[in-house]
């Protein structure tokens, strides 16, 4: 899905030099069957040897695939054809591109800049709680929760975003937010650690595994919250969350989107 958060033609293919190993791996695995993506990625990499070198070394498990992929790229392509391939790949990887430019994420993503933190506070009492935010991004949820919570652990797998969060913590002298790596599939904490475990725009690839992991780290009587931001998308309630015991809170965003926030009290 394209969100139109960026204009791909304004970005250098060198943006991929900022990417983490897991993103490169995902690019290679998820797009194996997409012929258009594979074709354009092959051209873009073959004509950007520094990026190809970086992919080989940052993500060695993708090396065989990338070598095969780029083996037959014609050697006489025009600059225009090469740029077209680069722009195609940049457009397809829009979300990952935005993640490595955190300031752009805040500026261009409506779900962040249009959001009001009271939409989070309505879902649970954060006062004095120990909270985990999974896939924090630029910290929309984490920094809001930190205004009330005892401590917030902001877990984020993208290195550029962890650095952004740490810079903000330093500049604003925020004393109760801790930044760490980690994914929803494998949360780097022991069982029953948090009063509230929250996320936004993260859960959804594998509901059973993800919710089992969120449930594992939340204390008995604690909450799991899924609080997306404000955008203009038309949605239906998420049946996957409802059938797993979440309650939904619905409103229409000011840009006309159907926004559902979810909450589940965990009883163990
Ligand atoms: C669309 S952004 C949302 C950021 C933030 N939660 C918000 O709503 O403002 C998705 C975030 O999840 C992170 N992410 C991607 N895959 C993830 C995973 N498997 N587990 C945890 N976080 C992930 C990305 O790096 C990115 O920061």
Predicted pLDDT at 259? 98
Q: What is the total residue count of the chain?
A: 268
Predicted pLDDT at 12? 98
Q: Would residue 210 count as lying in a domain?
A: yes
Contacts of 19 (CB under 8 A, 6+ apart): 58, 96, 100
Question: 156 and 222 share a domain?
Answer: yes
Q: Would residue 241 count as lying in a domain?
A: yes
Question: 125 and 225 share a domain?
Answer: yes
Q: Distance from the CA of 172 to the center of ligand 1, in angstroms?
A: 23
Question: 184 and 258 share a domain?
Answer: yes
Q: Single out the residue in 73, 100, 127 at which a domain terminates.
A: 100
Average pLDDT over residues 250-264: 97
Question: 148 and 221 share a domain?
Answer: yes
Q: Would residue 105 count as lying in a domain?
A: no
Contacts of 212 (CB under 8 A, 6+ apart): none
pLDDT reading at 33 higher than 90: no
Question: 92 and 138 share a domain?
Answer: no
Question: 250 and 158 share a domain?
Answer: yes
Average pLDDT over residues 73-94: 97
Question: 95 and 119 share a domain?
Answer: no
Average pLDDT over residues 245-259: 97
Nearest residue (CA) to ligand 1, atom 25: 158
Question: What secondary structure letter does DSSP report for 163?
Answer: H
Question: 85 and 180 share a domain?
Answer: no
pLDDT-wise least confident of 1-5, 210-214, 219-223, 252-256: 1-5
Pocket test residue of 157, 163, 229 for ligand 1, highest count of atoms within 8 A of CB: 157
Q: Which residues pair with 248 in a beta bridge?
A: 262
How much of the chain exceeds pLDDT 70, in percent?
A: 100
Domain interval for residue 166: 110-265
**Structural domains in the chain (count):** 2
> Rounded to the nearest 10 degrees, how much is the dihedral formed by the CA atoms of 164, 165, 171, 176?
-170
DSSP assignment of 91-151 equals HHTHHHHHHT-HHHHHHH-HHHHT--THHHHTTS--TT-EEEEES-TTTHHHHHHHTTSSE
Strand, helix or coil at 44? helix
Question: 125 and 249 share a domain?
Answer: yes
Predicted pLDDT at 30? 75
Question: 128 and 45 share a domain?
Answer: no
């Amino acid at each position: 899905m394209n969100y139109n958060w960026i204009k791909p033609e304004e970005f250098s293919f060198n943006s991929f030099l900022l990417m983490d190993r897991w993103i490169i791996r995902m690019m290679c695995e998820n797009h194996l069957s997409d012929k258009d993506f594979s074709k354009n990625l092959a051209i873009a990499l073959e004509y950007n040897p520094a990026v190809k070198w970086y992919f080989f070394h940052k993500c060695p498990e993708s090396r065989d695939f990338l070598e095969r992929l780029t083996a037959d790229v014609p050697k006489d392509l025009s600059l225009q054809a090469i740029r077209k391939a680069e722009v195609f790949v940049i457009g397809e990887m829009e979300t990952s591109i935005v993640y490595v430019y955190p300031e752009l994420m805040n500026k261009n993503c409506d779900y962040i800049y249009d959001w009001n933190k009271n939409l989070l506070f309505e879902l649970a009492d954060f006062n004095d709680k120990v909270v985990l935010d999974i896939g924090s991004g630029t910290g929309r949820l984490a920094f809001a929760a930190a205004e009330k919570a005892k401590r917030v652990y902001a877990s984020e797998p993208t290195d550029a975003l962890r650095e952004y969060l740490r810079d903000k913590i330093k500049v604003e002298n925020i004393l109760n937010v801790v930044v760490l790596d980690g994914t929803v599939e494998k949360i780097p904490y022991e069982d029953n650690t948090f009063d509230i475990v929250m996320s936004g725009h993260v859960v959804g690839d594998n509901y059973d595994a993800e919710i089992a992991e969120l449930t594992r780290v939340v204390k008995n009587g604690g909450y799991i919250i899924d609080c997306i931001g404000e955008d203009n998308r038309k949605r239906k309630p998420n049946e996957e969350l409802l059938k797993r015991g979440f309650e939904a809170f619905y409103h229409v965003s000011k840009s006309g989107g159907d926004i559902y926030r979810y909450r589940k009290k965990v009883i163990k």
